[in-house]
């Protein structure tokens, strides 16, 4: 099993329905790191807007992103590490998150519209309590800026099994012990 460096901080990102929470929780468990579901930190007003089918603006997201950056910063200061699920749709949003820890590792989950829509519809039908309606998927995709060159981001097809994604992450970021023995 992969042993994370205490300071590893991962952000599992992508649009709604891509599997951020599932992959994030499994990755945290595999790495022995705390998991933070970013959606739980949205202010009530943001949740109400999204539940009513209104897309959030940059201004709506600003306080939420700052709160997430503060949580990231706290993990960095304590050297504990963290796995955070967060849409992080724009480069400017990711830059806010990096204020907490410049060395964030972004794991970008992507996939086709049909699979995203099917997952969101199934979640709503199962009444999981998630507030994001399918009607906002198009606005999230329109807002999305795919992580580019210069960003520490690894892309994964959301159609992959979560376990396969977790294994790939472990292969990309070798254990602290393995790094020391290689030097």
How do residues 66-86 score in pLDDT, each as one tens digit?
A: 999 999 999 999 998 999 999
Exposed/middle/buried for residue 122 (C-beta within 10 Å: 0-12, 13-18, 19+): exposed
Query: Does 2 fall in a domain?
Result: no
Q: Which long-range contacts link 133-136 to residues 24+ away (Cβ below 8 Å)?
A: 133/50, 133/51, 133/53, 135/53, 136/16, 136/50, 136/53, 136/55
Query: Does 182 fall in a domain?
Result: no
Record the pTM.
0.85
Query: Does 183 fall in a domain?
Result: no
CATH code of residue 98: 3.40.50.300
The structural domain count of the chain equals 1
Give strand ranges (E) for 4-159.
Answer: 9-13, 35-37, 82-85, 105-110, 153-157
Query: Does 3 fall in a domain?
Result: no
In this prediction, residue 49 carries a pLDDT of: 86
Cα separation, 176 vs 153, whole angstroms? 20
Q: Which of 15-19, 82-86, 103-107 has the lowest mean pLDDT?
A: 15-19
Of 30, 38, 1, 14, the C-alpha closest to 107 is 14
Query: Does 34 fall in a domain?
Result: yes
Q: Band of the pLDDT at 150, cuts 50, 70, 90? A: confident
Query: Does 4 fall in a domain?
Result: no
């Amino acid at each position: 099993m992969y042993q994370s460096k205490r300071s590893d901080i991962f952000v599992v990102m992508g649009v709604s329905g891509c599997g951020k929470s599932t992959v994030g929780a499994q990755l945290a468990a595999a790495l022995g790191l705390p998991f933070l579901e970013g959606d739980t930190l949205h202010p009530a007003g943001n949740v109400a807007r999204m539940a009513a089918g209104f897309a959030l603006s940059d201004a709506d997201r600003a306080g939420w992103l700052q709160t997430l950056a503060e949580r990231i910063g706290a993990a960095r200061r304590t050297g504990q590490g963290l796995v955070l699920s967060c849409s992080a749709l724009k480069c400017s949003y990711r830059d806010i998150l990096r204020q907490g820890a410049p060395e964030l590792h972004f794991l970008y989950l992507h996939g086709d519209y049909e699979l995203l829509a099917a997952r969101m519809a199934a979640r709503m039908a199962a009444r999981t309590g998630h507030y994001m309606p399918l009607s906002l998927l198009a606005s999230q995709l329109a807002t999305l800026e795919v992580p580019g060159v210069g960003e520490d981001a690894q892309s994964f097809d959301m159609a992959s099994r979560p376990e396969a994604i977790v294994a790939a992450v472990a292969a990309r970021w070798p254990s602290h012990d393995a790094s020391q023995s290689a030097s």
